[in-house]
A = this chain, B = another copy of it.
Amino acid sequence: MTTISAGPDSSADSPGVRHVKRPTPLRESVYEALTEMIIDGTLERGRHLVEVELAGMLGVSRQPVREALQRLNNEGWVDLRPGFGAMVHVPAEDEVDQLLAARAALESESARLAARHATKEAVAQLKELCKVGTAFQESGDIDGAVRTNGELHSMITEMSGNRFLVDFAGQVDRRVRWYYTPVAPVRGAASWREHARLVKAISEADEDKAAQIMREHTEHTRTAYHELQSGGGAPIQPAPEKKPATRRRRTTD
């Protein structure tokens, strides 16, 4: 996922054209691999990343690693210290909060625009996602609920039709997941009730209401985070856990 570019798919291809699979540039694969490793904790926060080391680890030369690291630096996953190397970014105290605040703004606006551009089919899909998610929630399938939650949110931002909002929200979202995941507060059923109200507002093309609900919805996540912060112990990185045996739990928001 690039940052702002229109992307190669955005060119108005006549329907039916399918570009054959083009082998991804190595730097891209390296970038993906590294974010993956950062998110799942293989590369712990603050860890010193050495180019040749990573290169060896991934079986490529320095070049693609360098390029991937630069991008990771630009997007805030690592901090590049000239002459020393890259360190996996260690989030500051207020960073999660700022991230959540930014997300609230972005997703709220997305919801507004989604309500404006909603089509019948899209709304139907949203409702379906809502139903599925609620079912997951009630059956206790947290992973499923989390996944569906992500799909719902990302579908709404896509519906905004604004690629910049989509892109920014995407970036913020990945970061939020990374910081936030260890805490893993599942807001649960309440979250899905809010989703339902949100979808209803969108289906009624009520822009203000949709924006309002989305804002409250994401703000709830923020306050939930703060409660956890002040209440529970280890705020940022609770378990160093080298190799998470089970897939890590994600957040529902």
Report A's interface with B, CB cutoff 8 A.
2-6, 8, 10, 22, 25, 27, 66-67, 70-71, 73-76, 79-82, 89, 92, 95, 98-99, 101-102, 105-106, 108-109, 113, 161-165, 168, 171-172, 175
Contact = CB atoms under 8 A, between A and B. Distances in A.
Quickly give the copy total for this chain. 2
Contacts of A70: 27, 67, 70-71
A2 B81 CA distance: 13
Given A67-B66, A67-B70, A105-B165, A92 B10 contact: yes
A86 to B, nearest CB: 11
A8 B67 contact: no
Nearest to A76: B4
Nearest to A66: B67
Contact of A102 (B92, B102, B164): B164
Nearest to A93: B12
Contacts of A165: 98, 101-102, 105
A79 B5 CA distance: 7
Contacts of A99: 164
Contact of A3 (B3, B102, B105): B3
B105 A6 contact: no
23 contacts: A2-B74, A3-B74, A3-B75, A3-B76, A4-B74, A5-B89, A6-B79, A6-B95, A10-B92, A22-B82, A25-B82, A67-B67, A67-B70, A70-B70, A70-B71, A74-B74, A98-B161, A101-B113, A101-B164, A102-B109, A102-B162, A105-B108, A164-B172
